[in-house]
Amino acid sequence: MAHFDQSENYWLPSSIKGARAETKKTYPTLNLSLFFTLAISMASPNSVKILDICEVAAAYDSTKSATETILSPTFFELSGLRFPPTECLFFFKLTDSNPTFFHSVIFPSLKKSLSNALLHFLPIVGSLTWPPESSRPIFVYHPNNDSVKVTLAECNGDFDRLIGNGIHEAVESHPYAPQFVATETRSPLVVLQVTLFPNKGFCIGMATHHAIFDGKSVSMFLRAWAYTCKYIVEKGEAPRILPAEITPSFEWKSIQDSKGLEEAYINLWATMGKRLESGSDSNPKSVKPLTKLEVQPNLLRATFHLSSEAIKKLRESVLRYHPEATDPTKRLHLSTYLLACSYVLICLVKARGGDADREVYFAWSVDCRSRLDPPLPPNHFGDTVVARHIVSKAGDFLQENGLAIIAEKLSASINGLDKGLLEGSSERFEMLLGLGAEVRLISAAGATGLKFYNTDFGWGNVEKVELTSIDRTGAFSVLDIGNGSDRRIEIGVALKRPEMESFASFFSNGVEVMSRL
């Protein structure tokens, strides 16, 4: 989902920060072997103990939660019908989180506030199912049967490592994500796990179904839950209403399918689902998310930052190659999000190496709420995004002006949205799903403007956010953190060790090198 705004020195763990390019046209390779070896060897086995599995229902309300709710998906929701769940981890640092305080205060408050918050999000308490007699799946909430599964766990893992920005094995984070269990006939929409790290903090893990959650919807639900919890902690009672920006709107009927996309996506998943599952799934009405995406062995994860100053330098670098961009009639779309993605792509392609003639695909999602006619309200809840993509030779990324080349292509794609937001969307979707393993497809998860790092359940803001699902999809994550002059873009990547070493080197040196070209 693409948000476009303006924000801007880069940050890396101090162990790999500070090297500088020796010439204008070369990127020196840092010798990070010792750092990586130490970082990985310091990891200790994580012992996660499941303490309880709870079912949290929406708080009772005679006019809301006591009534069955059925929603028919639009073509937006149908486009995400079989995608693997999105997994997010939110780490909260709390030194006084001893087991007694956690189990007597924190966890009960989390459950109570979740129950009250769910009253505003009833469709996600239910499930996605496909009635045998129906031509399409539906979202159904049954007041007497449905609830959200919450797993309570405790771990002796190294909390400080997990909330740091250094390199660690990707699998270290996986025990804190909840298990998303679905069948062909019924799938939950959200599952949660709360993991206590005694005297360190706790982690809220969330897995959400792509058919109803996009990044903004995840943010809306998380922030509504946090707002309710903090309200209860401070005032002893649940709020009667939520702030407008986190009060969800499920008015989906205003979305018109003038291009027949609903039928196109239903037919596409009927064929592509079977193909992507290697023929194992013969049920064209399955609502079970695809499960064949496995985490590659020996995958490492790290977090990098681009400051406002770094974004400014990247923008200036692009404009030096595109002076016409200062002409209002030819202006490039150089948002913070676009520049950050362009820079990460350059670093990733350089890190991978290989044939300069090979094609590289980049796909990302665009939030359609404000772009539809008529526009949807900003608090519209659902999977309301469309995919966009560019294709370029790897050699374009490797050129001295590679950043400008890629930024221009992304800008042209964004500017083209005004002429045809949904034009060719199902064909593009099918093409991207059908790309073979020999094609390099890079995608972006997350967005700026989601405000994940502003989330506070009553015991302080989020300390670290991880999108663990990128370990399976090969995407990189983009989030923003901080405010004002301290605002920066956070990039999460999961790579094999050789690529991670190269990526870290290019990323740490690239901004300064490009600013001198």
In order, the DSSP letters of 123-147 are HHHSEEE--TT-SS-EEEE-TTT--
- Where the chain has pLDDT below 70, the residues are 1-46, 276-282, 292-293, 323-330, 517
- Is the omega angle on the peptide bond into residue 374 within 30 degrees of 0, that is, cis? yes
What per-residue confidence (pLDDT) applies to 160? Answer: 94
State yes or no: is 146 an active-site residue: no
What per-residue confidence (pLDDT) applies to 436? Answer: 79
Query: What pLDDT digit, counting tens, does each position of 5-57 carry?
Result: 333 332 333 233 333 233 333 333 344 443 444 344 344 446 899 999 999 99
What per-residue confidence (pLDDT) applies to 278? Answer: 60
The answer to whether the Cα torsion of 98, 104, 108, 113 is positive or negative is: negative
What per-residue confidence (pLDDT) applies to 341? Answer: 98
State yes or no: is 210 an active-site residue: yes
What per-residue confidence (pLDDT) applies to 489? Answer: 97
* Identified catalytic residue from 3, 120, 209, 210: 210
Q: How far apart are CA 275 and CA 281, in angstroms?
A: 8
Comparing CA positions, the residue from 192, 60, 178 lying closest to residue 124 is 192
What per-residue confidence (pLDDT) applies to 461? Answer: 96
Domains of the chain and any CATH numbers? 10-42+295-515 (3.30.559.10), 48-276 (3.30.559.10)
* Identified catalytic residue from 158, 257, 396, 456: 456
**What letter does residue 288 receive in the DSSP assignment?**
P
Comparing CA positions, the residue from 22, 10, 27, 9 lying closest to residue 399 is 27
**Radius of gyration from C-alpha coordinates of the chain:** 23
What per-residue confidence (pLDDT) applies to 275? Answer: 72
